[in-house]
C-alpha cells in the first residue's frame, strides 16, 4: 500500500473502547519507525481492515496514551472518499489474523 499522507482518527465509543486494548495485546504486523525530513515517526503495529468496502489498515503506535482512538491509513483520503465528517458513525472491520 502507498498510503495517503495523514491518518483518519476514529474515536471509539461505549463498549467498543475495550477493543483498543485488544489491538494492543494482539500481534499485528510490526513496522519500524522512520524519519521524514525533520519529523520522526515511531514504530507501530498494523492490522488489515475494511472501512465500509475500502481496504485500509489500523496502525497502533507503540507509544500512545490514547485509550479510545485508532488511526487508519489507506491509499485514499478516506474522509473525502467516504464523505466522513466529525461525529459521524462508521463501521470498521479489523482483521486480527490472516485466513488459513
Is 60 within a domain? yes
The closest alpha carbon to 43, from 25, 60, 26, belongs to: 60
Residue 74 contacts residue 57 (beta carbons within 8 Å): yes
Q: What is the DSSP letter of 82?
A: T
Is 99 within a domain? no
Is 77 within a domain? yes
- Interval 1-41: pLDDT, tens: 788 888 899 999 888 888 888 898 898 999 888 888 888 77
Is 27 within a domain? yes
Q: What is the CATH number of the domain that holds 85?
A: 2.40.30.30
Q: Which residue has the cell 491509499?
A: 75
When divided into structural domains, the chain yields a total of 1
Domain of 82? 8-94
- Interval 30-84: pLDDT, tens: 988 888 888 877 888 999 999 999 999 999 988 777 788 999 999 999 999 999 9
Is 3 within a domain? no
Distance set, CA 97 to CA 30, 36, 86, 92, 94 (Å):
13, 30, 30, 15, 9
Amino acid at each position: 500500500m502507498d498510503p495517503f499522507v495523514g491518518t483518519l482518527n476514529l474515536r471509539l465509543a461505549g463498549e467498543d473502547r475495550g477493543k483498543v486494548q485488544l489491538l494492543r495485546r494482539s500481534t499485528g504486523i510490526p513496522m519500524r519507525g522512520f524519519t521524514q525530513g525533520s519529523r520522526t515517526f515511531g514504530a507501530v503495529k498494523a492490522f488489515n481492515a475494511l472501512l465500509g468496502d475500502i481496504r485500509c489498515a489500523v496502525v497502533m503506535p507503540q507509544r500512545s496514551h490514547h485509550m479510545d482512538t485508532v488511526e487508519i491509513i489507506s491509499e485514499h483520503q478516506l474522509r473525502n472518499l467516504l464523505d466522513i465528517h466529525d461525529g459521524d458513525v462508521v463501521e470498521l472491520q479489523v482483521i486480527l489474523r490472516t485466513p488459513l
